[in-house]
Chains A and B, each alone.
Chain A
Amino acid sequence: MDKGLTEDKIKELENYEVSEILTRREKLAIKYAEKMGIEHQSIDDKFFGLLHEEFSDAEIAEMSIVISVCIGWGRLLSVFKAEEAWD
């Protein structure tokens, strides 16, 4: 699979916090996405401090755009049942 993504890593997403194969960067990125999706008010300066230990401003901005699209349009595709068009 491209860019180092493996099935093993995908399987660990559900319990990413305790994964031994996901990196610290990956765990922080997943946590960022998770919080933005379900409890964005909980994202505080401390969390951004942790993000900055691993990511540059430009990388955080890029990641934020990816998360925005998934939260906004991704949810729409889900409720529009877009996947059923392929059944």
Chain B
Amino acid sequence: MTVINPIEDEALSTGMATLVEKFKGDPNYANGLKIFAHKQEVFEPIWAAYLNMLENGKLDRELKELVRIKIAQNNDCSAYVEKSSLQRSPMRPEPVPGLDQAKVAEIGSYEISDILDRREKLALKFAEKLGIEPEGLDDEFFDHLRQAFSDPEIVELAHVIAVGIGFERFLAVWEPRVCAI
């Protein structure tokens, strides 16, 4: 039983139905999208752009997935992360090419990891701080970030983080809880 009723499949726009179809292997995630779809004329273009950015942006797909997993952990999706199969990230039905599971295992203690590189650690810190302590992101942090990333890369990273903290947090709250699978 969901706390908010997803809209019926027949009521989905063509574009929204295409997005939901991508997650048919993950029914709870698809349900979350169908709840947002009550306002699909607004949500569909936001989500289509987000998925396109995930798959086709300037940054490595793996880096963005590591960030998403970090946010999922902070959104209280840890159980979901742990239950995900080795090549499967949280809230995503298909394998992520090249996702290094040794790195995934170090996300929780990324600060002291010997295998995550400086760019990955900075990206994880950006995601962590924006989610729980945005006031901790000071000029010094952005100096470090700009040493490792170009401005367009920072903006792309920021969008991935913003969607994770903003929208995907709802998927952790609505029943059936995506994170409690």
Is the beta-carbon distance between B76 and A41 smaller than 8 angstroms?
yes
Q: A62-B39, A65-B42, A72-B163 are in contact. Are A43 and B173 (CB under 8 A)?
A: yes
The main secondary structure of chain B at its interface with chain A is: helix
- In the complex, the answer to whether B169 meets A40 with C-beta atoms within 8 Å is yes
Contact call A71/B169, Cβ cutoff below 8 A: yes
Q: Which chain B positions have C-beta within 8 A of A62?
A: 38-39, 42
CB of A35, distance to nearest CB on chain B (Å): 9
| Chain A interface, >50% SS class | helix
B40 — nearest CB in chain A belongs to which residue? A61
Give the distance in Å from the alpha carbon of A71 to the alpha carbon of B71 in the complex. Answer: 14
Range class of the A interface residue count? 20 to 34
Whether A72 and B39, one on each chain, are in contact in the complex, defined by CB atoms closer than 8 angstroms, is no
B158 proximal to A (CB < 8 A): yes
A-B contact sample (7 more), CB < 8 A, given A41-B76, A75-B130, A76-B130: A40-B173, A48-B175, A57-B38, A58-B39, A62-B38, A69-B166, A72-B164
13 pairs from A and B in contact (CB 8 Å cutoff): A40-B76, A41-B76, A57-B4, A58-B38, A58-B39, A62-B39, A62-B42, A65-B36, A71-B169, A72-B162, A75-B130, A76-B158, A79-B134
Q: Which residues does B use to contact A, with CB under 8 Å?
A: 3-5, 35-39, 42-43, 46, 75-76, 130, 134, 137, 158, 161-167, 169-170, 172-173, 175
